[in-house]
Structure 1
Amino acid sequence: MKEPSHVDHLRDEPIPRLLWRLSLPATVGMLMMASYNIVDTIFVGHFVGVGAIAGLAIAFPLQMLLMGLCQSIGVGGGVMVSLEIGKGRRTEAERYLGNVFFLTMISSLVFTTAVTLWIDPILNAFGATPTTLGYAHEYVEVMVWGYLPFCGSVALNNLVRAEGNARLAMGTMLISAGLNILLDPVFIWWLDGGVAGAAWATVLANWASFLWLLFYFLSRRSYVRLHWKAMVPRREPIARITVLGASVFARNAASSVMTILINHMIHNFGTDLHLAIYGIYYRLVMFLFMPLFGLVQGLQPILGYHEGAGNPCKSREAIRLSTVIATCIAAGAFLILWVFPAQLILVFSTSPQLVSEGTPVLRIASLGIPVVGYHVVGVTMFQAMGHAWPAFILSMSRQVFFFIPLVLILPPIFGLWGVWAAFPLSDGLSFLITVALTEPQKRKIRQQCEALDLAARTM
């Protein structure tokens, strides 16, 4: 059977065009996905109030934890699917798809059960105040109905991307985000649903995107297909998926811990207003970083395929080009936050106090953003090429090695400003670690490429 065109592209297409082909749809889709978080917050801020924005910030670590869990399964499985396709082993690739689906369903059901049983204790541990607990509880008790499809969508979309079908991956995200944005005004404004309305819009959108992906992998349109035999759990695929995805889960889990610590530090040294400022800053950064994440999602199947196929020269070219583009994206995000902080805050709320206190926060917290692009490409390089431990170390470096200690040390000395200063300091320190780990690997890839070129010339 002839391979579909998206696998042919991975093998034959020039790297700049291939990176564009895979990254652009991922970027468009992820911008749409980030936009529904922005739109949720805008509607909640204008129709419910600043306190509701703070409540969403309290609930956000739960979504980050679930995303980290499901993204780790999807990324680990996606790396192996790309490698197996590169080696021409379709049956093995389908086995990884089946085990990804099995792990996703089990993990999401366990997570949903735990959150349902202990909503309030979890939210209190996340730093909820008497004001924010009601909003956060109202939001989460609806969101649990969408955890399973959300998890399935996140994981399976990585596998769509792994077989090179970037347009379908984009379409999935457009379905989810577009439906969410359309339903937000219906549930929040027209039905006067408040934060629960925002949650119902998200739940329905998650189910739509999950069913779309499920039908794709059950059909003949996909290169790797989902069938019962492949879903039987097997030790080796589960072990490889877990090891390769561990860095993704660790990064998201660390982000959740980081957010919880920030919530507590703001509770100790600030007010609910400052919690709302942090919630706005986080959503803005995530939105501005979507082109960066779209870029590395396009890079991952390229590196995975050519690592499996033994093409170090193409891997080297993809890494170099991605590093340049990622740095430009990060620098652009920094400039937007530095030049237009007040205008960005006004999108979410017209509160004068929120604008006056939030403007310097956005500027200080964003100072380290220009070097983040290099770090993200470094993590993706190790993940895509199957090097789990360096990817794990880099994923942990910013949040665990640097940010968490800084956010524990600085606020008792400098007050609330210590919280905001921890952001650029941790960005800069993690950049140094990334340089130290990635440069030897890049040198090794370059030497492999030069050896192949020399062998080709002497034949």
Structure 2
Amino acid sequence: MVATKNPVSDENEQPAQPAREDKVTRMGTASIPRLIVEFAIPSILGMLVNGAYNLIDSIFLGQAMGEIGLATATVAMPVMTVFMAISMLVGNGGNALAALRMGEGNREEAERSLGNTVCLSIILAAVVAVVAHVPACIDGVLGISGATAEDWYYARSFIQIISLGFVFQCIGMGVNNFIRTAGAPNRALSTMIVGAVACTIFNFLFVMVLGWGVQGSALATLFGQAISCACVLWYFLFTKNVPMRLRLRHLPLHARTVGLILSLGLASFAVQAGMAVVNFVLNNLLNLYGSMNPIGAEGALASIGVVQRVAMFTVLPLIGVAIAIQPLLGFNYGAHLFERVKKTLLCGIIGATGIGVVLWGLVHLFPEQIVGFFGIEDDSLLGFTVFALKVQLAMLPFVGFQIVGSNYFQATGQPAKSIFLSLTRQILFLIPLFLVLPLVLPGWFPQFTSLDALYFATPLADFLAIFTTAVFILLEMGRLRKLERGEIQAKF
């Protein structure tokens, strides 16, 4: 099923080592629950580590600068989410294509996907760095991000410093997924951990010891991402017996490969871009309705900013499960092992749901401690943030189903469905609820303000998105049964 020799490899290329091929072929033969556990643990930890960059910055800035530091991080968050969206566009798309090609036994095309992903990352990073330093562009972004006079300078400095090292994030995060598809999930995790640990150490040194504030936190993030990027590249360039290798001849962009990478990555991009749009809208609404509330605009930005970060951190393990099963889904779908595809999806949904229940319990058991960790001490602001946190994460036990379900279509070469499902929660449901609910909720329930309505919108959007995903999954199960019976053919 998997080629044992690259058909157009270099002349001095040796036949593929059995151990190298076993890392990949076992995805179509080994126990699915065992494979999911093996892949999911490092994937979940890796997502938590990757998400820790923003969390680490917020914690250190909150402790060192108080509300203004948290507000600055909140303003910068939409831009950081756009950066992550670009990383996932090329990284997740390229990795999904590589998994499908490995399942078909085409290692040459899998390596071409890897090389083109690295090349795209470098090109896009250069564009981002230039745009972030054009005054009209960065000021326009800060304007729609909800920056106030107090945090404008700080947010601008943070974003511009991060943009200069965006290439490290794009490769360190995006190409990291290929290591998992190469059958080395623990190695993928280690490349992320080393960067996050470095980021934490540099944050403590630059922010708490040297007092460099926002600029120091941005530099700490950049250094951490650079170390992670170096570890990822080392794996594909110098590690022996890897199923895929980064080769110079595969760096030049290949039109069909680039098209497939971008089409498969659009779903992941849509999720993150949708989050960025949500954050842009939310920050401006927080300024509007926060100014009408006793906690003020800065307090609203700081409070909901903390809720958003905790919410993001609770969702990351669920995304980690979806990413962990992606190579298993892609390989087995490419190999036409549809029974294994269904079992992988089911196990992924069960795992993500279980994790969601545990995290929901932790949030409801220790909300004050979680919020206090960010440096919020004012009693009224603390109480508001704790209540907002509980409400916003009310549907967390079921969110994993929606994430895994939408990611399934990306992994199996059905990008249009995946993109639609990825957009349902963020764009189709959440933004309209953000705009409408503050106008009607106080009339229905006078005990709540328009500011309260902003966090009530999230569980309502979650419910609608989960229901929509369930309809798509039920229809897909019928399609898979037809594929098993040979009534239709899988096309990609």
TM-score by length of 2: 0.89
8 Å Cα contact 2:91-2:170 kept in structure 1? no
2:268 to 236, 248, 253: 248
Match of 2:347 among 321, 324, 331: 321
Amino acid at match of 1:356: G
Query: Who is 1:170 aligned against?
Result: 189
Whether the aligned pair in 1 keeps the contact of 2:57 and 2:73 (CA below 8 Å) is: no
Alignment of 1:217 with 2:231, yes or no, is: no
Matches within 5 A, 1:84-95: 84-95=101-112
Contact 2:28 2:337 in 1 (8 A): no
Question: Structure 2: how far apart are the matches of 1:88 and 1:220?
Answer: 21
> How far, CA to CA, are the matches of 1:288 and 1:215 in structure 2?
31
Distance in 1 of aligned mates of 2:235 and 2:313: 28
Structure 2 unaligned blocks of 5 or more: 1-15, 291-296, 442-449, 487-492
Is the contact between residue 164 and residue 301 of structure 1 (CA under 8 Å) also seen in structure 2?
Answer: no
Q: Is the 8 A contact 1:56 1:135 kept in 2?
A: no
Match of 1:42 among 59, 68, 74: 59
Tell me which of 67, 72, 76 is aligned to 1:55: 72
- Give the partner amino acid of 1:374: F
Q: Distance in 2 between matches of 1:106 and 1:424?
A: 38
Greater mean alpha carbon deviation, residues 224-233 or residues 266-275: 224-233
In 2: Cα distance, 1:129 partner to 1:220 partner = 48
Does 2:322 align with 1:274?
no
Distance 1:239 1:138 in 2: 35
Q: Aligned pair 1:386/2:406, yes or no?
A: no
Q: Could you tell me how far apart the structure 2 residues matched to 1:218 and 1:347 are?
A: 41
CA contact (8 A) 2:395 2:462 kept: yes
Match of 2:202 in 1: 183
Aligned equivalent of 2:97: 80
CA contact (8 A) 1:175 1:208 kept: yes
User: Is the deviation greater in 361-370 or in 234-243?
Assistant: 361-370
Q: Which amino acid is the alignment partner of residue 426 of structure 2?
A: Q
444, 454, 458: which is aligned to 2:479? 444
Cα offsets for 1:260-317 (capped at 9, x unmatched): 1000001000011111112111211222223212211110000001011111111111
User: Does residue 152 of the first structure (1) align with residue 171 of the second (2)?
Assistant: yes
Partner residue of 2:223?
Answer: 204
1:223, 1:82 → 2: CA distance?
Answer: 11
Displacement after TM superposition at 1:324 (Å): 1.1
**Pairing 1:313-392 to 2, within 5 Å after superposition:** 313-349=339-375, 350-392=377-419
Q: Secondary structure at the match of 1:289?
A: helix
Give the length in aligned residue pairs: 451
Relative to its length, the structure with more helix (as a share) is 1
What letter is aligned with 1:287?
A: F
Corresponding residue to 1:286 among 312, 323, 329? 312
Among 300, 322, 340, the residue aligned to 2:326 = 300
Contact 1:327 1:373 in 2 (8 A): yes
Asked if the contact 1:265–1:411 (Cα under 8 Å) also holds between the matched residues in 2, the reply is no
**More deviation in 344-353 or 70-79?**
344-353
Runs of 5+ unmatched residues, structure 1: 453-459
Match of 1:419 among 435, 438, 454: 454
User: Runs in 1 of length 4+ with deviation above 6 angstroms?
Assistant: none
Taking the aligned partners of 2:159 and 2:346, their CA distance within structure 1 comes to 42
Match 1:98 to one of 112, 115, 123: 115
Of the structure 1 ranges 325-334 and 234-243, higher mean CA displacement relative to structure 2 is found in 325-334
Alpha-carbon deviations, 1:49-102, whole Å to 9, x = none? 111101111011111111111101111111111111111111111111111111
> Secondary structure at the residue paired with 1:130?
coil
Question: Quick one: percent identity of the two aligned structures?
Answer: 29
Match of 2:422 among 391, 395, 398: 395
Q: Which amino acid aligns with 2:477?
A: K
Q: Does the CA-based 8 Å contact 1:146-1:202 persist in structure 2?
A: no
Alignment partners' CA distance in 1, 2:373 and 2:239: 44
1:220 is displaced (CA, Å) by 4.7
Aligned AA (1:41): S
Letter matched to residue 166 of structure 1: P
- Distance in 2, Cα, partners of 1:426 & 1:78: 29
Query: Structure 1 residue 250: deviation in Å?
Result: 1.5
Matched to 1:27, the amino acid is I
Decide which of 16, 21, 27 is 2:38's aligned counterpart: 21
Q: Deviations over 1:205-246 (max 9, x none)?
A: 111111111122222533211122111111110111111111
**What SS does the aligned partner of 1:144 have?**
helix
Amino acid aligned to 1:385: T
Alpha-carbon displacement from aligned partner over 1:155-210 (angstroms, at most 9, x marks no partner): 21122222222111101111111111121110111111112111111001111111
CA displacement at 1:332 relative to structure 2: 2.2
Partner of 2:436: 409
- Is 1:136 the counterpart of 2:155? The answer is yes
The answer as to whether partners of 2:319 and 2:404 remain within 8 angstroms in 1 is no
What's the offset of the Cα at 1:319? 0.8
Query: In the alignment, which residue of structure 1 is the partner of 2:17?
Result: 2
| TM-superposed deviation, 1:448 | 4.4
Q: Distance in 1 between matches of 2:174 and 2:59?
A: 28
2:250 and 2:157 map into 1 onto residues whose CA distance is 39
